[in-house]
Amino acid sequence: MAHRLRPVGLDFVDTAPVRLIFAQEMSAAPDAVFHALNDDVPGWAEWFSAVTRARALDDGAGRDIRLKGGGHFVETVIAAKEAEVYAYRVDITNAPGARALAEEWRLVPAGGGTRVQWTFAADGSALFRGVVRLARPGLGRAFKGAVTELDRRLGR
């Protein structure tokens, strides 16, 4: 059953009770990575294996994301600064126990490419927070695979 989450801003990425941070370098330039994140929302399903469908809402101000396993998120973009940061909060989800969720993709030039840092920020019931912490290894693998596949895709 879908429910509305607490609206949060970009500061939540730094203050959330649970913050999972992953980083990886890519050969693609920061502007190319930013455009893949921001401008090609449907493309997420082609390079992020956990995503089965993604579509932009409200001329790119929001997103509708479906995940393997049935997860569903309606999101609002809270930061989109070219070649630097792309972030969104979840407004509606079917994840039980979630109270607030946001994700930030920070892009930093590195060695002729990009260092991508993904922060998954969450708040919710004690059980939800515990499940998110336990999901860290799987989220890390999903992030690494997504960044690797996106880098391949951008290199074509």
66-107 pLDDT, tens digit each: 999 999 999 999 999 999 999 999 999 999 999 999 999 999
Integer Cα distance of 74 and 2 in angstroms: 10
CA distance 142 to 145: 5
pLDDT score recorded for residue 71: 95
148 membership: H or E segment, kind and range: helix 136-155
- Digit-coded pLDDT (tens) for 10-61: 999 999 999 999 999 999 999 999 999 999 999 999 999 999 999 999 999 9
* pTM for this prediction: 0.95
- Find where tokens 């890390």 sit: 140
Domain definitions of the chain by residue range: 3-155
Which run of H or E residues covers position 54? Answer: strand 51-57
Does the structural domain 3-155 have CATH classification 3.40.50.920? no
